[in-house]
Structure 1
Amino acid sequence: MPYKKVYKEIKKYDNIVIARHVGADPDALASSIALKESIKLTFPDKNVFVIGAPANRFSYLGTLDKLPEELNKELLIVTDTPDKRRIDGISPSGFKSVIKIDHHPFVEKFGMLELIDDTASSASQMIIELIFNTKLKLNKSIAEKLYIGVVSDTERFLHDYTTTKTFDLVSRLIKETNIDFTKLYLPLYLRPLREYRYLGYLLDNLVVTPNGLGYIKVDVDTLKKYNVDSSSAGNLINYLTNIDEVKVVVTCSIDLGNDCVKCSIRSRKIVINEIASHYNGGGHALASGARPKNFSEVDNMLQELDEACMKSID
């Protein structure tokens, strides 16, 4: 991987913007915020902005920046994002240099320099590699964020794209910074009581088809009843993936703020990201998201997923 070329671009420019995908998860936030901290630690005089819509649930990962009104568009680095339409808060156009650092399957080229490794567990793993292979500096705060990013995207190292390389890099990260990795799990997995009550609702109302598709549709009234938002079901979806009768599970929550239905999709074996891409989404083969315009489009997506379940052989 051309990590040294990335370092050269970072060293070259004084004004750097770091972005990630819409609907940020811990890996997207951790990889982008940790990269900013590493650049600032290495080059204190550079102007570095990490941007995107705030995700209050993961505010412990750090703060996001507001871009100045007159932005000097020099270098844009986009982490954890395979295509332009999913970049949160900025367009690559007008920048002198654009770098993509991503671990999703290739969708489209938008960076002048692209680091794509779909065998990597997470974007955070790729930032760890970038730091270890260049002169970018590392401290405990940066290491903690990157550890959380890896743990979150691998679901505590359970997913099959967790490799020996992942363990080697994380082991080195822990050794070099002496982070207390056990305490880092608490903010990631502790949840308020209302979310567990909401999980009970999701389990009680999950529809499971004869072909093994599990899904639930959540309307505004239900979100208000449990005092949760459109992201909450997606944050709880991994609790639904271990149901024996379910091959693919989908949570679909109305998102009035973005005029869409926010869907999280998980699968044990069936490839789902291509279907997700038909509905303003995408992601990994077994873990994807989508944003259909309405519940009518959701029904079409569910039909496609159910057909995929029907065709699969256990």
Structure 2
Amino acid sequence: MADMKRAADLLQSWDRILILSHRSPDGDTLGCASALSRALLALGKSVQFRCADPVPKNMAYLFAGIEYGDFEPERIVTVDVADKALLGALEPLGERVDLAIDHHGTHRPFAREIWVDDTAGAACQMIYKLVQVMGVEITPEIADCLYTGISTDTGCFRYSNASPETHRIAASLLECGARAAEINRAMFETKSRAAVELLKHVYGDMEFYHDGRCAVLCLTRALLEETGAGESELTGVSSFVRQVEGVLIGLTLQERGENEYKVSMRSNAPASAQAVCARFGGGGHKFAAGCTIHAPLEEAKAQIVAACGEALKAF
């Protein structure tokens, strides 16, 4: 198990580096990738970035101005990836990862070297410290990347993972030039027409189970095609489901393939989303986790709802 100093030493000793984010990328994995890319380029390294899914349009600014090289990577680094299966179509590269930087307590080791800090509210908190140890100046561009990851993974500092250290780091990033107001507006207050259409279904099609303590939304391919919603519009939908009064577990089932559903689960204390998703081979954090179920929709829904019911019996 590596630590921050070990991770910094490794990165400073390498030259041609490929950075990988997880599929269905969010602000944290992309904030890590873009910030680390900028830091390594500042050190004179050759850098590439890959993700199985496209970068959402509202996060394209994270990579503005970055010039990636065309070369055969010598080393591979993953950021905010708790399991190589989360690399999606890039999973075969998981066998070749040299360093994994992650903040999930459910991390399943796959890299030669691992730096995991499950006390960090976002993986971008780890990259913030790493960049400083490597002696790289946190420019306004790097600050934007890191602030984006921290803000999105903490729900704009509303979730319990936003610790005092999280706020201190965010304040430091503001001092470095992070455009907090613009970023928060783009991440939390700006909705595309597709997102508005999707939200109509979020509130209209939501189903409730177990005395209203479990809320479920099914996102079929047909629904996503009807609304025109892409990955950027899906960000935060599970949190909307959790916001209904009395709901302890809110989840979405997103159709990913034939008889394949991605479950995104959010919970309120004392319920643990992580514990439920672990029963299906998934993982994450206590109040935010996910898994994949291979079954027809009604069967997949029945399985996850039953597991939620078992978990809720204790409360």
Q: Give TM-score scaled by structure 1 length.
A: 0.88
- Find the aligned partners of 1:141 and 1:298 in 2 and give their Cα distance: 42
Find the aligned partners of 1:163 and 1:280 in 2 and give their Cα distance.
28
Query: C-alpha distance in 1, partners of 2:82/2:222?
Result: 34
Amino acid of the residue matched to residue 112 of structure 2?
Answer: M
- Residues 300 and 142 of structure 1: CA distance in aligned 2, closer, same or farther (over 3 Å): same
In structure 1, distance between residues paired with 2:219 and 2:33 = 31
Matching residue within 287, 293, 310 for 1:307: 310
Query: C-alpha displacement at 1:66, in angstroms?
Result: 8.7
Give how far 1:10 is off.
1.3
The amino acid across from 2:4 in the alignment is Y
1:28 aligns with 2:29: yes
Q: Please give the alpha-carbon distance, in whole angstroms, between the structure 2 residues aligned to 1:230 and 1:132.
A: 32
1:43-84 CA deviation, whole Å, 9 max, x = no partner? 2xx22111112133432322799995x724x22211111222
Assess if the C-alpha contact under 8 Å between 1:30 and 1:124 holds in 2.
yes
State the number of aligned residues. 304
Q: Is 1:80–2:83 an aligned residue pair?
A: no
Counterparts of 1:297 and 1:231, CA distance in 2: 24
Q: Give the Cα–Cα distance (whole angstroms) in 1 for the partners of residues 231 and 37 of structure 2.
A: 28
Unaligned runs of 5+ in 2: none
Unaligned runs of 5+ in 1: none
- Measured after TM superposition, the shift of residue 299 of structure 1 is 2.3
* Aligned equivalents of 2:220, 2:272: Cα separation in 1: 27
Residues 110/255 of structure 1: CA separation in 2 closer, same or farther (3 Å cut)? closer
Q: CA RMSD in A?
A: 2.4
1:246 partner amino acid? V
3-state SS of 1:249 partner: strand
Check conservation: 2:28, 2:124, Cα contact below 8 A. Answer: yes
Aligned mates of 2:80, 2:131 — CA distance in 1: 16
Bigger shift: 18-27 or 128-137? 128-137
Mapped contact 2:76–2:96 kept (Cα < 8 A): no
Deviation at 1:186, TM superposition (A): 2.2
User: Within 5 Å, which residues of 2 pair with 1:57-206?
Assistant: 57=57, 58-62=59-63, 71-72=72-73, 74-88=74-88, 89-90=90-91, 91-94=93-96, 98-175=98-175, 177-189=176-188, 190-206=190-206
For 2:166, give the aligned amino acid. Answer: T
Partner amino acid for 2:243?
A: N
SS in 1 for 2:294: coil
Q: What is the CA-CA distance between 1:32 and the residue it aligns to?
A: 1.1
What is the Cα deviation at residue 293 of structure 1? 2.1
Secondary structure (helix, strand or coil) at the match of 1:108 reads coil
Bigger shift: 115-124 or 222-231?
222-231
For 1:260 and 1:55, locate their aligned partners in 2 and report how far apart those are by CA, in whole Å. 22
Moved more, 180-189 or 157-166: 180-189
Contact 1:234 1:263 in 2 (8 A): no
Secondary structure of the residue aligned to 2:247 is coil
Distance of 1:41 and 1:259 partners within structure 2: 45
Residues 1:49 and 2:51 aligned together? no
Deviation at 1:220, TM superposition (A): 2.9
Cα gap change, 1:231 to 1:159, in 2 (>3 Å): same
Percent of matched pairs sharing the same residue? 20
Equivalent runs, 1:209-224 vs 2, <5 Å: 209-211=209-211, 212-224=213-225
Helix, strand or coil for the counterpart of 2:182? coil
> Match for residue 244 of structure 1?
245
Contact kept? 1:140, 1:179, Cα under 8 Å: yes
Residues 268 and 94 of structure 1, relative CA distance in 2, 3 Å threshold: closer
Q: For residue 16 of structure 2, what is the aligned residue in structure 1?
A: 15
The one-letter code matched in structure 2 to 1:22 is R
For the 8 Å contact 2:95–2:110, the answer to whether it is kept is no
In structure 2, relative to structure 1, the CA distance for the partners of 1:173 and 1:276 (3 Å cut) is: same
TM-score normalized by the length of structure 2? 0.88
Post-superposition offset of 1:140 = 0.8
- Aligned equivalents of 1:21, 1:178: Cα separation in 2: 27
How many angstroms apart in 2 are the aligned matches of 1:29 and 1:126? 14
Check 1:198–1:50 CA distance in 2 against 1; reply closer, same or farther (3 A cut): same
Q: Deviations over 1:167-188 (max 9, x none)?
A: 111212222x233321111221
1:17 and 1:201 mapped to 2: Cα distance? Answer: 39
1:142, distance to aligned residue in structure 2 (A):
0.9
Q: Provide the rounded CA distance (Å) in 2 between the counterparts of 1:137 and 1:112.
A: 28
2: CA distance, partners of 1:146 / 1:174: 10
* Residue 106 of structure 1: how far off its partner (Å): 3.6
